[in-house]
């Protein structure tokens, strides 16, 4: 199995995973063979990628960090809150907590807790899917630094609702494809305070969760907003969500820019460690994020090309690679697997857009 752009899928290719619409409807079922009309259907739903099964990716399993049905439930819950907004905002806190508990349980059920971009996203559903991914990444970071059960739940609630204040920002500004004006950016920045006010007014939501909404755009060097807090003056959970928020935002397709590759975003965040982001938390983040997701294509220093088949948790930037094309550009009749953690002479030099 591997993840590819719809434009690169030929008719007759086998679909490896269900493709789900924003309302939970199965657009394409696993096992179906691609046809041009299916491509049109996916494009109409803002879906740009899907998983396929072919000879070079046969037997590669791409794990879901969180089960698809939980993602669908989370998306529906967030949509419901957005579509039925009243003032004051009424948050079904018990339902949110129940959902966070399911996400935590789903993450813990994995043998290797490493986040990989294995979800199929709709460009139109960015807001909802972003909230879910930020929640998942934040919880994985929280688990890696041994947060206790209560703190994990509070982190989960706050990260899932970290952007709730955007309900009060004009959609024309949020979805503007061009560069924001100074005044428009000042409006955007207010969502942190709006979100804090919404969450702190709900008695069943912990203040630490509200601080996430307030502080996820603060930076440890004091360059963030809304209060220009520094270092430990920023709540730890907000410092965690700051990393998860930037990672998911930059690896997502947006109306105003194309997505960046996971390893590029990891390198970007590492470059800002101790400046914008908490150094200890960045180190934890790096340990539990797949630099090269399973099923993605890579180019090795030997000029061989292959597909990532497994993670190496201890060295996340040196996965196991199934080599399918040799150094001369010839397709191998018999594929070979290389564990880069055991071979210091080889390393990944580029991503292969298969």
* Each residue's pLDDT tens digit, 252-278: 876 666 788 889 999 999 999 999 999
Task: Give the closest residue to 300 by CA, choosing from 261, 247, 336, 264.
Answer: 336
Cβ-contact 138, 159 below 8 angstroms: yes
Total count of residues recorded for the chain: 354
Query: Helix or strand or coil: residue 221?
Result: strand
Block residue for tokens 């491509």: 39
Contact 275, 220 (CB under 8 A): yes
Name the E strands within 165-303.
297-300
Measured distance CA(261)–CA(256) in Å, rounded: 16
Q: What mean pLDDT comes out for the span 171-198? A: 91
- The answer to whether residue 89 scores a pLDDT higher than 70 is no
Rounded-to-integer distance, Cα 88 and Cα 138, Å: 27
In this predicted model, which residue has the larger pLDDT, 102 or 125?
102
Residue 214 and residue 204 in contact, taking contact as beta carbons nearer than 8 Å: no
Confidence of residue 164 (pLDDT cuts 50, 70, 90): very high
**In which element (H, E) is residue 91 found?**
none
User: Tens digits of per-residue pLDDT, 142-154?
Assistant: 999 999 999 999 9
* pLDDT, tens digit (0-9, with 9 covering 90-100), for 40-81: 888 887 787 888 999 998 998 887 788 888 888 888 888 877
**Domain segments of the chain: what residues?**
2-57, 68-287, 297-352
Whole-angstrom distance, CA of residue 3 vs CA of residue 8: 10
Fold of the CATH domain 68-287: Hypothetical protein af1432 (1.10.3210)
List beta partners, residue 230. Answer: 221
pLDDT tens digits, residue range 187-218? Answer: 999 999 999 999 999 889 999 999 999 999 99
Residue 79 tokens, joined: 């949509």
Query: For residue 221, what pLDDT is reported?
Result: 97
CATH fold, domain 2-57, is Molybdopterin biosynthesis moea protein, domain 2 (3.90.105)
Report the chain's terminal Cα–Cα distance, integer Å: 12
Percent over 90 (pLDDT), the chain: 55
Q: Which residue has the higher pLDDT, 283 or 49?
A: 283
């Amino acid at each position: 199995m591997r993840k590819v752009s719809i434009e690169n899928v030929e008719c007759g290719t086998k679909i490896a995973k269900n493709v789900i619409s924003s309302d939970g409807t199965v657009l394409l079922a696993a096992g179906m063979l691609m046809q041009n009309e299916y491509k049109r259907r996916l494009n109409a739903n803002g879906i740009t990628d899907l998983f396929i099964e072919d000879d070079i990716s046969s037997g590669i399993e791409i794990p879901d960090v969180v089960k698809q049905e939980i993602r669908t439930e989370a998306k529906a819950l967030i949509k419901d809150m957005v579509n039925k907004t009243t003032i004051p905002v009424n948050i079904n806190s018990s339902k949110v907590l129940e959902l966070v508990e399911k996400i935590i349980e789903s993450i813990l059920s994995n043998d290797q807790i490493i986040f990989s971009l294995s979800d199929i996203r709709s460009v139109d559903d960015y807001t909802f899917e972003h909230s879910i991914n930020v929640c998942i990444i934040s919880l994985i970071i929280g688990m890696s630094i041994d947060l206790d059960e209560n703190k994990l739940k509070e982190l989960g609630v706050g990260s899932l609702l970290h952007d709730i204040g955007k309900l009060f920002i004009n959609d024309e500004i949020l979805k503007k494809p061009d560069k924001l004006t100074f005044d428009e950016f000042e409006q955007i920045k207010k969502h942190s305070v709006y979100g804090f006010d919404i969450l702190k007014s709900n008695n069943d939501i912990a203040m630490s969760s509200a601080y996430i909404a307030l502080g996820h755009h603060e930076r440890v060097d004091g360059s963030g907003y809304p209060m220009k807090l520094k270092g430990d003056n920023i709540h730890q959970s907000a410092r965690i969500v700051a990393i998860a928020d930037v990672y998911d935002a930059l690896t997502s397709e947006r109306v105003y820019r194309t997505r960046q590759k996971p390893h590029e975003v990891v390198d970007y965040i590492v470059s800002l460690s101790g400046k914008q982001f908490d150094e200890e938390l960045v180190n934890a983040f790096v340990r539990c994020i797949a630099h090269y997701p399973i099923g993605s294509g890579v180019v090795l220093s030997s000029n061989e090309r292959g597909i990532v088949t497994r993670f190496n948790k201890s060295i996340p930037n040196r996965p196991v690679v199934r080599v399918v094309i040799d150094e001369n550009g010839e397709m191998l009749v018999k594929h070979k697997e290389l564990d880069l953690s055991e071979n210091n002479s080889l390393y990944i030099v580029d991503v292969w857009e298969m």
